[in-house]
Structure formats: structure tokens, C-alpha cells
Amino acid sequence: MNSLVIRPALPADFPAMWDIFRDVVAAGDTYAFDVDTPAAVAEAYWFGPGILSCVIEHKGAVVGMYKLCQNAVGRGNHVANASFMVSPRARGLGIGRLLGEHCLDAAREAGYLAMQFNYVVSSNAPAVALWESLGFQVVGTLPLAFRHARRGYVDALVMYRTLSDPASWPPPEH
């Protein structure tokens, strides 16, 4: 698609992000959030401390977003974590891939050495295929850890990739 712009999310973007968040959560098939998650919780999820969120705009309208943050504190803070949501009306058009690539670049720029997804629903075929095509591997399966709105209990996957050759990683500072 033409006229796609990825940029840091601003507080003024939240109403559009909230619409997408609610659509994604209402489907009950990809994220564990309750359908009645308050807006303030969603706002903190995207704009809390230490979080970099970016939105993607098509012709001036926000159609998707990602957030990048550390996956763990202290001795685990060289590993990033990220989340992605694309509006149901804008899926299958390459937006998720653009966001994924942008997020990987942003993580490298921020100094992260690896990225981990903790909770990819195993039945989420678009996500699993996208992350594998972007270099992630399934490193663990959490049996029946997600209660899918239509399928019942399904596995959740832990997916991981390094962001550069570990041989080139800087020596740990401490």
C-alpha cells in the first residue's frame, strides 16, 4: 500500500489505538486481555515507562501499532519484548510485516541483542508464520495456556531470535 508511515505513537493517537485494541481483544483469539479491559490499562500498556510504541498510518489514519520494551529487568534487559496489533480491516496487506521489520530495527538501534515473544497463541497462524519468516523460532510450548474464545484451551508459544551474531555481542558490563 502507498502512503504508509510508521512513526512514534503520541498520546493523541490513543483513541485510534484504543479502537484497534478493543477489536483485537474482543476477538478473544490472540491476546489474554479481558474484553472489559479499562482504557487506562490499555493506555499504560502502550505508553507506560520504558515503552517505545509506534503507529502505522495509512492516509492519515492509524491502522496498526507495535510496542517495544525490555523483556526482563536487570540481567535480562538485553532481550526485548514486543507486541503488535493491526486493525482487522487492514490485515493481510503487509502492514504486520512492515511493523515487524521496523520493530526489529528499532530494537537493534536501542541496543537490544535479542527479542522474545512470551505468549504467541499457537492457533494464530498469521502471527506464527510472520514471526517465523522474520527469523523467530519456537523455543517453547506452554501446553493449553490460552483460553481461546472459540477453540477452548490451546497452546501458547515462546518465540525468540537473536538480533545479531552473539559472537559480535559486547562483553557484559557487569
Ligand X SMILES: CC(C)(COP(=O)(O)OP(=O)(O)OC[C@H]1O[C@@H](n2cnc3c(N)ncnc32)[C@H](O)[C@@H]1OP(=O)(O)O)[C@@H](O)C(=O)NCCC(=O)NCCS
Binding region for ligand X (CB under 6 A): 24, 30, 84-86, 91-97, 117, 120, 124-127, 129-130, 133
* Backbone conformation region of residue 23, classed left if phi is above 0, alpha if psi is from -120 to 50, else beta: alpha
What are the grid coordinates assigned to 124, written together? 494464530
CB of 97 to ligand X, least distance (A): 4
Give whichever of 5 and 111 is closer to ligand X, judged by the CB atom. Answer: 5
Give whichever of 153 and 169 is closer to ligand X, judged by the CB atom. Answer: 153
CB atoms within 10 A of CB 14: 19
Quote the CA–CA distance of 129 and 159 in Å, as a whole number. Answer: 11
CB of 41 to ligand X, least distance (A): 17
Residue with smallest beta-carbon separation from ligand X = 96
Give whichever of 71 and 124 is closer to ligand X, judged by the CB atom. Answer: 124
CB of 42 to ligand X, least distance (A): 14
Q: What is the side-by-side strand order in the sheet with 79-86?
A: 4-8, 52-58, 61-70, 79-86, 114-121, 152-162, 137-148
Give whichever of 106 and 120 is closer to ligand X, judged by the CB atom. Answer: 120
CB of 165 to ligand X, least distance (A): 25
Q: Where are the alpha helices (DSSP H) in the chain?
A: 14-27, 39-47, 95-109, 125-133
